[in-house]
């Protein structure tokens, strides 16, 4: 009977977590985020419709990011009504809360109670990036599921159980293969394994499982990149695996990386007041600052009570967070990429509060009430980011002008525009010539493909496309001997973001 009761409770938690995710997705509206417009949609469509052999980097350098993780959202969006797709994806994202509940029960030990676990889940549920990604195409919240599950598997037993560690490595490896930025969590998991009872065995099992997981989800894509460009991470790390399609440099987005050590230490406190230097769009969050403040407080409380500072499991969780956070901060400091860390601040904050209150002799009941109150205040302070949504009453379904009814060649002079490709006639070609990170190399494969396409005209001719109201580089067309035909009107296609539009203008051969 107890086993049945425990199983039923777990199923109830899972169902509740998924229902919460679905309800929130239904509340906030249809996803129209920039990355979906740029490459989440196009990369899957291109893989299914021959775009990689026909087009030239329509999303720019993101064209060759692994599209596998975006298949679920693509199929939902193309087979179901928009609201149904969003609700289902939100339910899947809600699984993160069930995993936080499981992990919290593991790490809190004797301090676990209905109130403390609820506090951990509340903190996780109201993370600003977590809320912003529920029901969207973003991979960060989706890959947080195997990351948190892998960490929980590793922490569930005090001893090193090889199968658990293998599975933990496999799960985090799957996340890394899906999206390379998750490598920071693999580093955190490895650091936590060094504190295991048998660290060499733990590290070996994690490494083996991680390698298998990474190959399963990313190996095929990397093999294709190696075959096509001589770089298994193209266009990333091109200074190590030089491809002739770009300059020998490593493409890294460093705009959010701290300016120095002290600046990096202050990032969590910037976030408290809404300074969003690690994100393109505003957010507010007190969780990471609370963790930093609570760590010395917990240490002081344990010293005062003359008890052991932390258990092995406590230290493994804290080391995982610290190493993952430090690697994230040093490599890119892009807030979206830290969704898994944001979710895990819930159990970590509750753990430090519980250890602090215990060290100061506070009763369990008063401690639990105080912890829940602090969690509620921190959650209420949260301001989530808005990556662009549309109301369900106005889903994105643009009408396409009859002037664009036949296949044509399109030069893209702005980003994001590639999400328009699936809306236009099959067989159309899309050439991005304005990407700063991956410019077209003269005489390279991409350049030759463009010139060959111009020699083989399509029924509706050649057009350029840009975003209405933005400056664009029309001069780039000169390299391919074409120019905008001022004698003909341009055509607008409704943009995914409300009140935006993409403009297509016909081109003619450039005059001498």
Q: Which residues of the chain have pLDDT under 50?
A: 1
Residue bearing tokens 């990386």: 257
Cα–Cα distance measured from residue 384 to residue 376, given in angstroms and rounded to the nearest whole number: 15
Residue bearing tokens 């860390």: 341
Q: What are the angstrom distances between the C-alpha of 411 and each of 106, 472, 476, 484, 506?
A: 55, 12, 10, 11, 10
Listing DSSP states for 198-228 in one string gives SHHHHHHHHHHHHHHHHIIIIIHHHHHHHHH
Residue bearing tokens 């933990």: 168
Let me know if 176 is exposed, middle or buried by CB neighbors in 10 A (0-12, 13-18, 19+): buried
Write the CB contacts of 119 (distance below 8 Å, at least 6 apart in sequence): 346, 350, 368, 371, 372, 374, 375, 376
| pLDDT at residue 253 in the model | 72
Is residue 156 within 8 Å of residue 164, measured between CB atoms?
yes
Which of 386, 323, 373 is CA-nearest to residue 129? 386
Cα–Cα distance measured from residue 313 to residue 334, given in angstroms and rounded to the nearest whole number: 28
- Residue 432 phi/psi, 5-degree rounding, is -90, 120
The CA angle 466-470-472, to the nearest 5 degrees, is: 55
Cis peptide before 416 (omega within 30 of 0): yes
Cα–Cα distance measured from residue 174 to residue 334, given in angstroms and rounded to the nearest whole number: 21
Number of other residues whose CB lies within 10 A of the CB of residue 319: 18
Is residue 124 within 8 Å of residue 139, measured between CB atoms?
no
Q: Where are the domains of the chain?
A: 2-31+66-381, 402-509
Cα–Cα distance measured from residue 30 to residue 417, given in angstroms and rounded to the nearest whole number: 18
Listing DSSP states for 337-381 in one string gives GGHHHHHHHHHHHHHHHHHHHHHTT--HHHHHHHHHHHHHHHHHH
Is residue 4 within 8 Å of residue 469, measured between CB atoms?
no
Number of other residues whose CB lies within 10 A of the CB of residue 145: 21
Helix intervals (H) in 29-134? 34-35, 41-49, 51-54, 71-79, 82-108, 114-125, 128-133
Which of 384, 345, 354 is CA-nearest to residue 372? 354
**Two structure tokens written together for 208:** 């083996």
Write the CB contacts of 310 (distance below 8 Å, at least 6 apart in sequence): 298, 302, 318, 355
* Element counts in the chain: helices (H) and strands (E): 19, 8
Cα–Cα distance measured from residue 466 to residue 502, given in angstroms and rounded to the nearest whole number: 6
């Amino acid at each position: 009977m107890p086993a049945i009761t425990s199983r039923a409770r777990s199923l109830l938690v899972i169902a509740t977590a998924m229902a919460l995710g679905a309800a929130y997705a239904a509340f906030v509206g249809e996803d129209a985020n920039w990355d979906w417009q740029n490459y989440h949609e196009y990369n899957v469509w291109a893989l299914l419709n021959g775009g990689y052999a026909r087009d030239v980097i329509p999303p720019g350098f993101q064209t060759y990011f692994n599209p596998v993780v975006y298949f679920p959202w693509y199929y939902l969006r193309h087979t179901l009504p928009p609201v149904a797709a969003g609700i289902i994806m939100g339910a899947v994202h809600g699984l993160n809360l069930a995993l936080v509940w499981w992990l919290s029960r593991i790490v809190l030990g004797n301090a676990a109670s209905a109130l403390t676990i609820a506090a951990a889940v509340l903190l996780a549920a109201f993370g600003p990036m977590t809320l912003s990604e529920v029901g969207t195409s973003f991979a960060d919240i989706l890959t947080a599921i195997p990351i948190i599950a892998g960490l929980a598997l590793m922490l569930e037993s005090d001893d090193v159980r090889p199968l658990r560690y293998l599975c933990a490595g496999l799960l985090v490896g799957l996340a890394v293969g899906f999206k390379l930025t998750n490598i920071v969590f693999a580093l955190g998991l490895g650091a936590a394994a060094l504190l295991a009872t048998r660290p060499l065995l733990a590290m070996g099992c994690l490494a083996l499982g991680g390698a298998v997981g990474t190959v399963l989800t990313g190996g095929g894509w990397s093999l294709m990149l190696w075959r096509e460009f001589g770089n298994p991470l193209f266009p990333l790390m091109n200074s190590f695996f030089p491809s002739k399609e770009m300059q020998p440099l490593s493409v890294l987005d460093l705009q959010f990386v701290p300016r120095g050590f002290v600046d990096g230490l202050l990032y969590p406190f910037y976030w408290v007041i809404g300074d969003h230097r690690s994100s393109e769009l505003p957010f507010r969050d007190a969780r990471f600052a609370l963790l930093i403040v609570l760590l010395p407080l917990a240490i002081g409380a344990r010293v005062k009570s003359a008890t052991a500072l932390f258990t092995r499991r406590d230290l493994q969780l804290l080391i995982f967070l610290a190493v993952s956070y430090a690697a994230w901060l040093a490599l890119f400091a892009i807030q979206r990429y830290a969704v898994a860390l944001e979710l895990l601040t819930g159990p970590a904050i509750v753990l430090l509060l519980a250890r602090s209150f215990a060290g100061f002799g506070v009763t369990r009941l008063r401690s639990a009430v105080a912890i829940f109150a602090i969690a509620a205040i921190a959650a209420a302070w949260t301001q989530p980011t808005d990556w662009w949504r549309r109301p369900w009453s106005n889903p994105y379904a643009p009408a396409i002008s009859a002037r664009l009814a036949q296949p044509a060649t399109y030069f893209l002079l702005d980003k994001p525009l590639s999400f328009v490709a699936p809306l236009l006639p099959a067989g159309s070609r899309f050439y991005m010539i304005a990407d700063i990170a991956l410019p077209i190399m003269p005489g390279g494969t991409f350049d030759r493909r463009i010139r060959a396409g111009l020699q083989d005209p399509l029924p509706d001719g050649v057009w350029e496309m840009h975003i209405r109201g933005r400056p664009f580089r029309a001069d780039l067309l000169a390299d391919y001997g074409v120019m905008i035909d001022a004698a003909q009107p341009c055509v607008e296609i409704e943009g995914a973001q409300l009140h935006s539009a993409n403009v297509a203008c016909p081109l003619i051969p450039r005059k001498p």
